[in-house]
Structure 1
Amino acid sequence: MGTVRSGVRSGTRDDRGGRAVWAVWAAAIAVYLLAVTQRTSLGAAGLDAADRFGIDPGTLSLFVFLQITVYAAGQIPAGMLVDRYGPRRMLLVGGLILGVGQGVLAFTGALPLALGARALVGAGDAVVFSAAMVVVARWFPPRRVPVVTQVTTIVGQLGQVLSALPLLLLLHAAGWTAAFAAAAAASVLSAAVAGTVVRDGPRGWRAPPPVSARTMLRQVADVWRRPGTRLGFFGHLGTQFSMMTFALLWGLPYLVSAQGLDPLVAGSLMTLLVFAAVVVGPLVGVLTARHPMRRSWILLSVIALTAGTWTAVLVQPGRAPMWLLVVLIVVLAIGGPASVVGFDIARTTNPGSTLAVAQGMVNIAGYSASVVVLMVMGWVLTALGGFTPEGFRVAWLVQYPVWAVAVVGILVTRRKARRVDAARGIAPRPLRDVVRRRPASPTCGRVAVGVPEQ
């Protein structure tokens, strides 16, 4: 997720929610969907990339390392650019950057140029997501923004389906250059459409004054000091990285090389990862809305479920049965929607003036963890002889220390957040009352903007 800022309305009647909004939204989401396709394309083509550039797993992980590092580092700058120049221009620029990055990757055989191309993909991805979310915030009525944001994220993630199956089929049928050139052309075309169709805001919308760099730095410090922000940070850290590591790079090579699956079967499982997230997302949203004071339990439960499922797969003496691999895919899919709980905690524990900074800070957590795990797994695989079953078995163990850090961080920051709640007369309902559906007391489960909720 990126940072989101909305403007203010003037006294004139605007056209939020009107017919024009759907054309604007469709144009924006098309650029975002293809950004996700470009983001995950190397995960589907990881083995082909290793052959094309003659590299080992450690060097292969550099591709995604650069891409995700640039994406994570670009969260707050991307939001500032969108605020200053508007989503129409930045969707156009972001889509063109993605197209250039994939175009260079399509035609080059030089490793340095290929690495630079993936860095461009990370930069374009950061800009496009921030711009797409601003389109939602500006064009839809406030009561509909949460739902439309969830739908936007779900539709965007379908871009992973395009990289897991159509791009993979084109890659094997027509070759590397044709496949990545087609992906580049699609992003350029969608950017051109967005530049024509999207407007920066509906009638009556007025941009807020820009925020200075000094003010932004002060806001970053203020946001981090809030326990709720740190709680969302560690929640995002622990729930997202395993799914991202699997989807972005190591999932398909693991399924093919370690589990012995046909590449198309493995690609189908990667597609299941997306569709499972689409199904699970609304369920996680309902739980979050119904139990705002128990959101940390959602985070801890998903971390425990993910770690437990990976353990069941890794202790298998040989290849895991297909049913267990399907379970693993479904459990990994839960991590994406669960990580959004971290954004919800940040939303309700920060005032609107610093919401963009808080969301960007939370978003950095999961992607930073993904970068670390991707790189270390690459080193482990290289040290153990490449894409071997035993190499992958050891490499996946890198995840466990990250989960441990996340769990400790959640428990510590939750305790601090609840102390802030208690000082303001807010306390979570006893779990037995929640289970028995007893009505809450006046001081239990109250919701207030700027007050940490767990």
Structure 2
Amino acid sequence: ALAVVRDRPPGAPPPPPAPSPREVVRGLVSSWLEPGTRLGFWTHMGTQFSGQVFALMWGVPYLVAGQGFSTGAASAMLTLLVVAGIVAGPLFGEFTARHPLRRSWLVLAVLGITVAVWTAVLAVPPPAPTWLLCLLVVVLALGGPTSMIGFDYARTFNPGHRQGTAVGIINMAGFSATLAISLGVGVVLGIVGPGGYTPEAFRVAWTVQYAVWALALGGLLVARRRARRKLAAEGVVVPSLRTVLAERRRTPR
């Protein structure tokens, strides 16, 4: 790279000087005050962390010690998670491209399904049915592609010179939540099951996720309302789903 790659084509004008610390802070504040950035922030936080915590830290111990899986079967479940994410990614990307004014509904749907399936798994005395755990893994795989919608909010709501800053702010959300929940699950496991991992300790430990889901959902709804208010001021009206469905029924096929 040092021998071949250049920062700019030959003859291109020199880059502008690096911004001052005050300008950097001003850019961060301006990006955060943009409702679309906050909408992306809460989107990334609410949808990404659960699958990340499961795949990177606690999924295999939970399946082995908490659900009675063999190590090989637990590994197969993580493979299922990856494959489901590969399938969901292009589909969610196509939906976002075709229905940019409905992106938040996809986010809310995935967030709601994730909470519902986790609740069903934790409500069943372990070991849970294998089909239910497979469903959980597939649903967790949807969180990664959905969290990428947060970056699309950064693109469409911020001017070009602030998009990188907005993406950086949004990218912090899900990974910060992942670190916090990874730690929280471990702390609760140590308190509830000090002698080692047990199925009941895992049932209690996974409930720490609900705090982040509640925080993200509240922030998401508030930011969405403010983002739509800004769009309305710019002349972009987001029709209700009832209006859209009524118009489709009236439109001849």
User: Please, what TM-score do these two structures have when normalized by structure 2?
Assistant: 0.91
Q: How does 1:312-323 map to 2 (within 5 A)?
A: 312-323=120-131
3-state secondary structure, aligned to 1:383: helix
Letter in 2 for 1:413: A
Deviation at 1:211, TM superposition (A): 2.9
In 2, Cα distance between equivalents of 1:205 and 1:293: 42
3-state secondary structure, aligned to 1:426: coil
- Equivalent residue number for residue 258 of structure 1: 66
In 1, Cα distance between equivalents of 2:82 and 2:173: 21
Q: How does 1:317-396 map to 2 (within 5 A)?
A: 317-385=125-193, 386-396=196-206
Residues 382 and 216 (structure 1), Cα distance of their counterparts in 2 relative to 1, 3 Å cut:
same
Deviation at 1:435, TM superposition (A): 3.6
Does 1:427 find its partner at 2:218? no
Residues 437 and 255 (structure 1), Cα distance of their counterparts in 2 relative to 1, 3 Å cut:
farther
Residues 412 and 388 (structure 1), Cα distance of their counterparts in 2 relative to 1, 3 Å cut:
same
In 2, Cα distance between equivalents of 1:248 and 1:235: 20
- Equivalent residue number for residue 293 of structure 1: 101
Deviation at 1:433, TM superposition (A): 4.5
In 1, Cα distance between equivalents of 2:83 and 2:224: 32
Deviation at 1:430, TM superposition (A): 3.0
Letter in 2 for 1:358: A
Deviation at 1:286, TM superposition (A): 1.1
- Equivalent residue number for residue 164 of structure 1: none
Deviation at 1:212, TM superposition (A): 2.0
Deviation at 1:432, TM superposition (A): 3.3
Deviation at 1:429, TM superposition (A): 2.4
Q: What are the ranges of 5 or more consecutive residues in structure 1 without an aligned counterpart? A: 1-87, 90-195, 439-454
Does 1:209 find its partner at 2:6? no
In 1, Cα distance between equivalents of 2:61 and 2:15: 47
Q: Provide, for residues 413-437 of structure 1, a one-character-per-residue CA deviation record: whole Å limited to 9, x for no partner.
A: 1111111111111111231343466
Q: How does 1:19-168 map to 2 (within 5 A)?
A: 88=1
Deviation at 1:407, TM superposition (A): 0.7
Does 1:199 find its partner at 2:5? yes
CA RMSD of aligned residues (A): 2.0
Residues 332 and 210 (structure 1), Cα distance of their counterparts in 2 relative to 1, 3 Å cut:
farther
Deviation at 1:295, TM superposition (A): 1.2
Contact kept? 2:63, 2:69, Cα under 8 Å:
yes
Letter in 2 for 1:331: V
Does 1:284 find its partner at 2:89? no
Contact kept? 2:43, 2:150, Cα under 8 Å:
yes
Deviation at 1:300, TM superposition (A): 0.9
Deviation at 1:373, TM superposition (A): 0.6
Q: What are the ranges of 5 or more consecutive residues in structure 2 without an aligned counterpart? A: 249-253
Contact kept? 2:189, 2:205, Cα under 8 Å:
yes
In 1, Cα distance between equivalents of 2:30 and 2:172: 17
In 1, Cα distance between equivalents of 2:42 and 2:206: 20
Letter in 2 for 1:199: V
Deviation at 1:238, TM superposition (A): 0.2
In the alignment, which of 218, 240, 243 is matched to residue 408 of structure 1? 218
Residues 200 and 404 (structure 1), Cα distance of their counterparts in 2 relative to 1, 3 Å cut:
farther
Residues 250 and 210 (structure 1), Cα distance of their counterparts in 2 relative to 1, 3 Å cut:
farther
Q: Provide, for residues 278-324 of structure 1, a one-character-per-residue CA deviation record: whole Å limited to 9, x for no partner.
A: 10001111111111111111111111000001011111122011111
Does 1:249 find its partner at 2:61? no
Residues 204 and 285 (structure 1), Cα distance of their counterparts in 2 relative to 1, 3 Å cut:
farther
Letter in 1 for 2:18: V
Letter in 2 for 1:264: G
In 1, Cα distance between equivalents of 2:177 and 2:60: 20
In 2, Cα distance between equivalents of 1:269 and 1:210: 50
Q: Provide, for residues 245-278 of structure 1, a one-character-per-residue CA deviation record: whole Å limited to 9, x for no partner.
A: 1111001110111111110111111111111101
Deviation at 1:199, TM superposition (A): 2.9
In 1, Cα distance between equivalents of 2:186 and 2:198: 12
Contact kept? 2:66, 2:198, Cα under 8 Å:
yes
Letter in 1 for 2:225: R
In 1, Cα distance between equivalents of 2:243 and 2:115: 29
Residues 418 and 270 (structure 1), Cα distance of their counterparts in 2 relative to 1, 3 Å cut:
same
User: Please, what TM-score do these two structures have when normalized by structure 1?
Assistant: 0.51
Residues 383 and 245 (structure 1), Cα distance of their counterparts in 2 relative to 1, 3 Å cut:
same
> Larger RCO: Structure 1 or Structure 2 (Cα < 8 Å, ≥ 6 residues apart)?
2
3-state secondary structure, aligned to 1:304: helix
Identity over aligned pairs, percent:
51
In 2, Cα distance between equivalents of 1:405 and 1:257: 30
Letter in 2 for 1:431: L
Size of the aligned set, in residue pairs, is 245
Deviation at 1:204, TM superposition (A): 6.0
